[in-house]
Amino acid sequence: MAQYDGHKMGDDKSVVLTQQESTTFQTFLKCLFFRTRQLTKEIIIRYIKLCFPSKKLTPKSISVLKAAANAAYRSYRDALRSGLENIAVHFIEDFKCFFEEIDEVATFTTEFKEAWQTFMSECLIKMIEELLDDEKKLVKITNLDRLTLDYDIYNAGNILNLNDEDFKTLLKKELGNEKKKIGIKQNYCNLIEDAFFTSTIV
Give per-residue pLDDT as tens, 71-109.
999 999 999 999 888 888 888 888 888 888 889 889 999
Name residues whose C-beta falls within 8 Å of residue 66's C-beta, 6 or more positions apart in sequence.
41, 44, 45, 48
Q: How confident is the model at residue 67 (pLDDT cuts 50, 70, 90)?
A: very high
190 and 151 in a common domain: no
Provide the domain count of the chain: 3
pLDDT above 70 for 188: no
Residue 4 domain-assigned? no
Q: What pTM does this model have?
A: 0.62
pLDDT (average), residues 44-57: 88
27 and 55 in a common domain: yes
Q: Distance (Å, rounded) from C-alpha 93 to C-alpha 98?
A: 10
Residue 12 domain-assigned? no
Residue 196 belongs to domain spanning:
164-202
153 and 100 in a common domain: yes
In the prediction, which pLDDT does 200 show? 44
Q: How confident is the model at residue 56 (pLDDT cuts 50, 70, 90)?
A: confident
150 and 170 in a common domain: no
In the prediction, which pLDDT does 1 show? 40
Q: Distance (Å, rounded) from C-alpha 47 to C-alpha 177?
A: 54
